[in-house]
Structure 1
């Protein structure tokens, strides 16, 4: 196996590994002893799902989240510099996409280490695929402002880009605030603007449906505490 920083996608929920990850990923993972992870506990669970025979106690984990200092992140790649492959594991989906893993990848690129992204599920890409919206030009904005006036202003800005740039706009919300987000979208956006709600992607109860804002009114699904991604287009 070539020495590199491997970006290791994980499932988006409790989906079986074999449904969303190639067998090649397992071949790579079982040969890595150093992992940079968003959450150590969930990373351990994921690795055991990949191969129950993996000895967790023989592995080294480096936590990477919003509290990790730039100095610590810089030191995480020491094993790679010594000739040992490393893996980056996110909490869900693909590392370095809407994920702190991007910081360590940037350092690896700067130091000319080989970076290898492996195939796996991305809610961003899968939702665009299932929406029927423009897949040639789209933008993911993460979380929108929490304060109502700021959020509605931001929604208007994104909707304006839909019409002026012919660009699909994507964003997310904390699962327990999904309904508030939907209420604000229906209140703020034009009746003819299309909204795709993509929930539980690749998991049991997957829901991906596109309607106009007008058509969604009074017919919203129950989405409390369910991972969702929202897309708007014309």
Structure 2
């Protein structure tokens, strides 16, 4: 392990303990302290690998208060590791405020590569992976969930969500209503675990399978959605791109604004330029 004082961001397995890297074990064994989302949960993992390093709890409710204390430990020459319950810390888990505060205080933050449910699921989904957007968990309330999906409806990127077992039917139902029954989705469940499954197809078809099979309503779920695709003969420009073009035109010539908007949204600049001319932007 690098002996310099630092906060180490250490991914842990999302299911299969064989995914724990030798470097992660080395770092966790040698730091002075491990900050865990749940010390009891992480204690079982650490015990399995014979790691006896002292642990403290760092979660959503105490992260801001803990941040300065951890900086003080770094200032005293003690390196610290941050882990979450599973996967890569900060990805829908606590840690953002801590990392920001540590960096602002002038200390190193050293990340280790490792398991991440979103990326692992995407790699096997068969959906476009050149451009994607990780959206975390959808809102639990129906209207807020529908509003969020409406906001993303014309996004051309693959969308990645985490979802809980008791809400998966609700989320798929809202997707069918907002995005359309035929929008392609992939539901990855229990990735790297014994009962790992992938369901793919139109959202209505996946919803029917989930609704009829209670086993598909258990475990950790990654839900991936194909980005918006206009029909080959459809020259419509996504609303989000039009809004970007309008904002840019307030400060830039149309030609320049169209080029920038096209780069941002992965569209053809000529189509945006033509739209701007016809709309008198």
Q: Deviations over 1:95-135 (max 9, x none)?
A: 12221112211112112212111122101111221112232
| Equivalent residue number for residue 221 of structure 2 | 228
Distance 2:72 2:225 in 1: 43
Q: Output the TM-score relative to the length of structure 2.
A: 0.72
Matched-pair contact (CA < 8 Å) for 2:63–2:98: no
2:207 matched to 1:179? Answer: no
Unaligned runs of 5+ in 1: none
Q: Deviations over 1:168-218 (max 9, x none)?
A: 111222222222222322333223311010110111111123212254353
**How many correspondences in the alignment?**
222
Distance 2:179 2:29 in 1: 48
The 5-angstrom pairing of residues 180-195 of structure 1 reads 180-195=170-185
| Equivalent residue number for residue 82 of structure 1 | 76
| Equivalent residue number for residue 199 of structure 2 | 209
As a proportion of its length, which structure holds more helix? 2
Partner SS for 2:216:
coil
Matched-pair contact (CA < 8 Å) for 1:179–1:223: no
Matched-pair contact (CA < 8 Å) for 2:153–2:178: no
Q: Output the TM-score relative to the length of structure 1.
A: 0.86
| Equivalent residue number for residue 4 of structure 1 | 6
How far off its partner does 1:43 sit? 1.9
2:66 matched to 1:72? Answer: yes
Unaligned runs of 5+ in 2: 228-281
Q: Report 1 or 2 for greater relative contact order, CA contacts < 8 Å, sequence distance ≥ 6.
A: 1
Structure 1 residue ranges (4+ consecutive) displaced by more than 4 angstroms after TM superposition: none
Distance 1:35 1:216 in 2: 40
Distance 1:36 1:217 in 2: 39
Matched-pair contact (CA < 8 Å) for 2:67–2:102: no
The higher radius of gyration belongs to: 2
How far off its partner does 1:233 sit? 0.8
